[in-house]
Amino acid sequence: MDVAFVDVESKAEGAVDQGGPSREYYRLLRDSAIFEGPEGAKWLSLDVHASHEGLYGTIGKMISVCVVHGGVGPHFSERLFAAVCGNPAPPLSLEEVSHTTLRAHLENIKKAEDLSEVKNKLEESVDWLSLLGLTRIVVKTMEDRDGVVELVAQQFVHGSMQVALEQLKYGLNSFGPLFVDSIKPPTARDLRDLFTVTYSIPCGNRRCLENDTICHWFNWLAEVQECPPLTVVMVFEFATGATVVPPLGFEDTATIEFLHKARGRLAGQQKKTYPEANTCAVTLRLPLHSTYNTTFRCWIKTYFYDT
C-alpha cells in the first residue's frame, strides 16, 4: 500500500508514505459513511446508492487489506460482529434504531397504556410499517404491543441491512475469515511501554536533562489520563497517526528522541519548545524541560489542541 492525500485539484501533499499516511487512511476508512454509531460499536448505515454500487463490499475488502498491512481494525459493534460471524444476535434496544422518526413512533407505541391507544399509534405509523413490509400486524393484547415494537426494530436493523451485510461479509472474506476484538483505547501505561527511549551517553549533561524530561513526560501522561478533555488517545494519534496499536503492530519500533539545543553552525537557532512527531517512522521528539511546572503542561496541551 502506498497512500497519498490530495487536495481538491488532485495535487498530492508530497509526503512519502512510510506508514503514517496509510494509518491515517485506515482510520478514515473506519469512519466511512457506511458505518454509524460510536467508536468501538459500529453498525451499518443504510445507503441504497452505496448498496447498488457495491460499496459495502469494496470497503469490506479494504478493511481486510488494512489489517494485512498493519492498519487499525474496524472495531465493529457486538451486533455487527455477531452478524458477520453468523452468531446469535444480542438483545436489541430502541437506541439502535438510527432513524429518529421511526424510533419516535416505536417509543410512542411502547408507551401506549391500553389497546385503543396502541392501535391509534400503529395507525399513525402505518406508512413506516408499509415501507418495512409489515402490513398485517394484529394486536389483541398488551403483550402483542411489545412484540410489535421488537418486530419492527428487528426488521429495520437487520432486515433492511441484509444486502449491505452480505456485501460487507463478502469483502471481509477477501483474505479469509476476519475476527476483530472490541476496541481498547491506549492508556498512559501503553504509551510508556510502546516507545523505546533513545538516550545520550550516561553521566553527561544531556543525559541528565533527558532523564528529567522523560520523567516529566510519564507524569504528564498519567495526568492526561485523569484530566480530560485532552486524552491519551489524542496524544497517541499525534505520535503515531493511529488511535490504537494496529493488530500486527507497527512496522518500525516506536521511539522517543529529544530536541537538544543546536550546536555549531545551527547554534543560533531558537530552542524548540513543542513536541514533534514523525508518524511514518513512529518517532516522538520531546523538548527538554528540567522542571515539571505549569508552563510545561500548558505548552504541550496548547500544542495538541492547535494541531
Q: Phi, psi (5° rounding) for residue 293? A: -125, 180
- The answer to whether 224 touches 275, Cβ cutoff 8 Å, is no
Q: Which of 66, 215, 280, 298 is catalytic?
A: 280
d(CA 207, CA 138): 78
d(CA 30, CA 23): 11
Among this protein's residues, is 280 annotated catalytic?
A: yes
Going 40 to 46 to 50 to 53, the CA torsion angle's sign is positive
Grid coordinates representing 241 are 497517526
Q: 162, 153, 146, 110: which is closest to 129 by C-alpha?
A: 153
Residue 112, Cα to own-chain centre: how many angstroms? Answer: 38
Enzyme catalytic residues? 280
